[in-house]
Structure 1
Amino acid sequence: MSSPLSRSGSGPGQREILEAAAIAFTRSGFAATTIDDIADLLKATKGRVYHYYRAKADIFLDVVLTGMEEMIAGAQPIAVAADVEPESRLWRMAHHHAGLMMTRNSFQRVAVQAVEMHRLSEAPAQAQALEKVIAMRDQYEQLFADVIEEGKQKGVFRDVDSRLATKPALGALNWISLWYDPDRGDWSTVQRVASEYADFIVNGLRRSRA
């Protein structure tokens, strides 16, 4: 059986469950979603779900971790690209984040609600998973804060608290997952929205040249 702390061996069957679960949790929220709902989206029996997972909370946590892993995997190589100026790196990181909010909407809508996971932390395994989620969130935010700090030191960005400035930047990006309708958008829309948000964030931090 899988747990939120042992996901590296997940195969196609488990990934399909997570894809269906992300949609179910997005539609109905954690409390209202049932294993039957997930199985129905899979067009399978509950037994297929229980083959990989013992409880709904474990599935939810895996969906959250998957969404966060996708964010970190895309942003980290951009953040550490020393040959690229911090202004360009921040733009690319914001663009990537915005894109995920649209192209991986279900996973990201669940991931940005991870603050609610304290309700799932009664069992030891779930409490450990919650700690991992918090650590991953902090790691991701620090990637942005480090780039902002570098830009500030180079005189590109305003004299801001880099860690604090990361909060509204990511808050604006995360909000895309709540209003964007993936069924009505296309690739050109994704690119346009992501670029607008990236411009907004970088321009908001840029030092005035007046």
Structure 2
Amino acid sequence: MVRATQGSRKGSWRKDEIIDAAAECFMERGYQATTIDHVAARLNATKGRIYHHYATKTDLFFEVHRVGMEHLFEAIAPAETMQGTAHQRLNAMMVAHAKAMLDYHTYENVVAQGVQLHRFEQMSPEQRATLRELITLRDDFEQKFKTVLQQAMDEGSIDQMDVSITTKTLLGGLQWSIFWYRRQPNETPEHREMLARKMVEPFVKGL
């Protein structure tokens, strides 16, 4: 699913604004403590504005989760098809993933919360089915890294190792930034690019 860009039509940018505000609220308060009132207050709007697009808080949470995954897929797409060895593609995909975790910090925090909801929360059958679809997106994303890691092993640029465990360790290490990263005043995309490369460097050297 591709988000409509702001300004494409009036209803779309209002919906995007709701999603952005909800991502901030869910990151700050967590799923359980966040209410539609909190999101409305963040927007300085009425709850009706939100309910016009989303029937429940859970539906809104799922939308934030979905958009967060879209950002990750879009971020690594250029690196997947770049010229060079599989090892170089893996490095580029890891840097792109790390930077996306920083660029879309609020959204990726919600994605991580979604995994916990899938494991522990009581939901309706319909909600659980939707969440399973979102978890499948995460599995598909992970598979992209498993594929290129196996290719790097096959070409001999990386030693043979357990592909599944290695991939989970690599992605888990980069995703840990949701806990320690905080955007700084006057921070630029170039700053986040540099930080992303520093995050990836120890993993690349380890491989």
Whether the 8 Å contact between 1:21 and 1:63 is mirrored in structure 2 is: yes
1:198 maps to which of 178, 181, 200: 200
1:189 is aligned to 191
For 1:110, the aligned partner's letter is V
1:136 is aligned to 137
Identity of aligned residues (%): 32
Unaligned runs of at least 5 residues, structure 2: 5-10
- 1:93-148: CA deviations, max 9, x gaps? 11111111211110011112221222556223312211111210110000001110
- 1:43-62: CA deviations, max 9, x gaps? 10000000001110111111
Does 146-155 or 90-99 show the bigger shift?
A: 90-99
> How many residues of Structure 1 are paired with residues of Structure 2 in the alignment?
199
- Distance (whole Å) between structure 1 residues aligned to residue 2 and residue 163 of structure 2: 33
TM-score with structure 1 setting the length = 0.87
1:3 is aligned to none
Q: CA deviation at 1:8?
A: 6.5
2:86 is aligned to 86
TM-score with structure 2 setting the length = 0.88
Whether the 8 Å contact between 1:53 and 1:59 is mirrored in structure 2 is: yes
Q: 4+ runs of 1 displaced by more than 4 Å?
A: 6-10
- Distance (whole Å) between structure 2 residues aligned to residue 174 and residue 128 of structure 1: 25
Do the aligned partners of residues 129 and 77 (structure 1) sit closer, same or farther apart at CA in structure 2, a change above 3 Å counting?
farther
For the residue of structure 1 that corresponds to 2:83, the secondary structure is: coil
Alignment of 1:23-42 (within 5 A): 23-42=24-43
Alignment of 1:42-121 (within 5 A): 42-79=43-80, 81=81, 83-118=83-118, 119=120
Do the aligned partners of residues 27 and 82 (structure 1) sit closer, same or farther apart at CA in structure 2, a change above 3 Å counting?
closer
Q: CA deviation at 1:77?
A: 4.1
Unaligned runs of at least 5 residues, structure 1: 1-5, 206-210
Whether the 8 Å contact between 2:75 and 2:100 is mirrored in structure 1 is: no
